[in-house]
Amino acid sequence: MQATIYDHSGKEVEKLSLPGEIFAVAFNHDLVHRALMRELANARQATKKTKKRSEVRGGGKKPWRQKGTGRARCGSNRSPIWRGGGITFGPTGEENYQLRMNRKEARKALYCTLSKQASEGRIIGLSEYPHTEAKTKQFAQMISSLPITRDVLVVLPEKNAIIQKSARNLPHVKVTTSNDISVADLLKHDRILFLKEVFAQWQRVAKGGSLVEQKTEPADQTVAAVTK
């Protein structure tokens, strides 16, 4: 499996081999579906709320006497069976929609989705982003020069304020990092644009390393004085 790397002007630079451990995984529809449902559920917020009988204003006075009227007995006009009364079993605003998934399953679902996008030729690379100012016009020109006809997901090795500010006003462009990439984003966008450094990160992961390279600090060379 290979991905084509372009420069910012749209010229093809090279072909890069993708690690099979990540980009050649058999597609598991059930696993990807569960991962997608988990991501959507975890992003859901409990913003809906209705008032219960005790929260509706009014209803302190008994509408009519208990006996003698021929009507059904009632004690409050805020009863759930009355119009304008409280809601029975309505949303409380405290619902928890969180779903859980094993870490290995979530990782494999991500690899399955990446493999599917790679097999369909939807993954391309960018050698570098040379601009040092946050200009939407420059970023839009770069996107138009690449083989991108619809919406695109731009994946960065780490957060980059220049690229994120340049792309935030473009309606069909979303910018994320390799650490925050999700199955929902991969399935939603027609093209996945990786910066070249991201491919190096995936190569490191395929060899058993971490996505973010660990920076080791030099050991302290100072020797403590020994008092006699």
Tens-place pLDDT, residues 215-227: 555 555 544 444 4
Confidence of residue 185 (pLDDT cuts 50, 70, 90): very high
Q: Are 78 and 85 in contact (CB under 8 A)?
A: yes
Q: Is the pLDDT of residue 47 over 90?
A: yes
Claim to verify: residue 111 and residue 197 sit in the same structural domain: yes
Distance (Å, whole) CA 92 – CA 166: 40
The mean per-residue pLDDT over the stretch 3-11 comes to 91
Predicted pLDDT of residue 149: 85
What pLDDT does 220 receive?
57
Residue 209 pLDDT > 80: no
Do 10 and 80 lie in a common domain?
Answer: no
Range of the domain at 81: 50-96
Nearest Cα neighbor of 113 from 155, 62, 63 is 155
| Predicted local distance difference test score (pLDDT) of residue 79 | 94
Chain segment 133-163, per-residue pLDDT in tens: 999 999 999 999 999 888 999 999 999 999 9
Q: Are residues 37 and 105 in the same domain?
A: yes
Residues 147 and 165 in one domain: yes
Nearest of 191, 135, 190, 185 to residue 163 by alpha carbon: 135
- Give the CATH number for residue 174: 3.40.1370.10
Residue 137 lies in a domain: yes
Q: Would you say residue 173 has pLDDT above 60?
A: yes
Q: How far apart are CA 112 and CA 25, in angstroms?
A: 5
d(CA 57, CA 52): 10
Helix (H/G/I), strand (E/B), else coil: 18 = coil
Does one domain contain both 135 and 173?
yes
211 pLDDT above the threshold of 80: no
pLDDT (tens digit, 9 = 90+) per residue, 59-118?
889 999 999 999 999 999 999 999 999 999 999 999 999 999 999 999 999 999 999 999
Give the contacts of 178 (CB within 8 A, at least 6 positions apart). Answer: 155, 156, 157, 198, 201, 202, 211
Assign 204 a pLDDT band (cuts: 50, 70, 90).
Answer: confident
In contact, 189 and 146? CB cutoff 8 Å: no
